């Protein structure tokens, strides 16, 4: 346990990323370095345009840096091409977004099963795992319902179930409570905390929500693409 805790799950080495928006060139990340050990629940915070979402995308293998290196669970992501990244994501990362998480034509159960379709598991096995994941978020009884029949908080919890169904190394959440009311937001944060504690899941969460600080182990702050606080306290 101790050994695992000391092993860096995520290593970001001198990473820079820029992109074009209309006629401007935006430097989203400017020579950022940090590392996050396994099993931590980390919040990425900062004002709008600070680069926190960009950093999150890099950690999740959705994007590649323009310079520097991102290594997750020992895998140097910048060496992988698009298809290899897609495959890597399917088995190593769980994703939760602020909205549009769930496919409206599928019910909760089917949405949770989606990532398992990529793994080529037999139907029975898929169903078992999906049910386990839904159970872990406390929504097994709502598994036949479609997203338009679920509340905002319930939808996010189903998204979280989908994120953990493949038993990924890393769970990545981009503003998961951004669209929720206070009560649901707290419930979601608590759930993430629970998953982190009970299953030792490494979670990196981008958030604006000040409430989140109470639930996480560490807060990393960015501003204008630069790391201002790596949050490494004790």
Partner 1 sequence: MTWTGFVVRNLLRHPLRTALTTLSVALSIFLVCAVLTLPAALNALFERTASSTRISVHHEAGLSYWLPLSYVQRVKAIPGVAAVNQFTWFGGIYDEPRNMFPNFAVDPETVAEVWPDYRIDPGALERFRRIRNGALVGEETFRRFGWRLGQEVTLRGTIFPVNLTLQIVGVIPASGNPVMLWFHRTYLEEAMEPYGGLRLVGMLWLRADRPEAVDGILRQVDAMFRNAEAQVTAETEQAFFASFLSSFRELVRLVLAVGVLVVGAVVLIAANTAAMGVRERIPEIAILKSLGFRRRPILVALLAESTLIGLVGGILGAGGAYGILTALALAGKTGAGGFLGPLSGFRMSPQVALQGVAISVIVGFVAGAIPARNGARLNVVEALRRLF
Binding site for partner 1 (CB under 8 A): 19, 53, 57, 60, 62-63, 83, 86-91, 95, 97-101, 103-106, 110, 114-115, 118, 174-175
Q: Look-up: residue for tokens 């908080």?
A: 153
**Residues contacting residue 1 through CB under 8 Å, at least 6 positions apart:** none
State which residue, 91 or 190, has the beta carbon closest to partner 1: 91
> Cα angle at 212 between 129 and 206, to 5 degrees?
70
State which residue, 53 or 186, has the beta carbon closest to partner 1: 53
Minimal distance in Å, beta carbon 118 to partner 1? 5
DSSP 28-75: EEEEEEEEEETT-EEEEE-STTSSHHHHHHHHTTSS--SEEEEEETTE
Minimal distance in Å, beta carbon 1 to partner 1? 30
Residue 169 DSSP label: S
State which residue, 87 or 167, has the beta carbon closest to partner 1: 87
Minimal distance in Å, beta carbon 57 to partner 1? 6
State which residue, 103 or 228, has the beta carbon closest to partner 1: 103
State which residue, 40 or 92, has the beta carbon closest to partner 1: 92
Tokens for 69? Answer: 């290196």
What residues pair up with 218 in beta bridges, in sequence order?
Answer: 42
What residues pair up with 176 in beta bridges, in sequence order?
Answer: none
Minimal distance in Å, beta carbon 89 to partner 1? 4
Q: Where are the alpha helices (DSSP H) in 100-201?
A: 108-117, 123-136, 152-164, 182-199
Minimal distance in Å, beta carbon 219 to partner 1? 21
């Amino acid at each position: 346990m101790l050994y695992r805790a000391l092993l860096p799950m995520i290593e970001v080495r001198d990473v820079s990323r820029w992109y074009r928006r209309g006629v401007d060139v935006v430097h989203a990340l400017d020579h950022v370095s940090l590392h996050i050990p396994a099993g931590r629940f980390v919040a990425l915070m900062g004002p709008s345009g600070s680069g926190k979402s960009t950093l999150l995308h890099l950690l999740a293998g959705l994007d590649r840096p323009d310079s520097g290196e991102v290594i997750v669970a020992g895998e140097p992501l910048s060496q992988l091409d698009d298809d290899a990244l897609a495959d890597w994501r399917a088995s190593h990362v769980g994703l939760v977004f602020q909205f549009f998480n769930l496919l409206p034509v599928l019910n909760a159960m089917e949405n949770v099963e989606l990532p398992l379709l990529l793994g080529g598991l037999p139907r029975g096995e898929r169903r078992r795992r999906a049910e386990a994941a839904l159970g872990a978020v406390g929504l097994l009884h709502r598994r036949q319902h479609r997203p338009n029949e679920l509340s905002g908080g319930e939808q996010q919890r189903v998204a979280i179930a989908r994120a953990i169904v493949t038993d990924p190394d890393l769970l990545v959440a981009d503003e998961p409570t951004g669209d929720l009311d206070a009560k649901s937001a707290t419930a979601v944060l608590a759930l993430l905390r629970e998953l982190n504690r009970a299953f030792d899941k490494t979670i990196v969460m981008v958030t604006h929500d000040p409430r989140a600080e109470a639930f996480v182990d560490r807060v990393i702050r960015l501003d204008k693409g630069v790391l201002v606080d790596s949050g490494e306290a004790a």
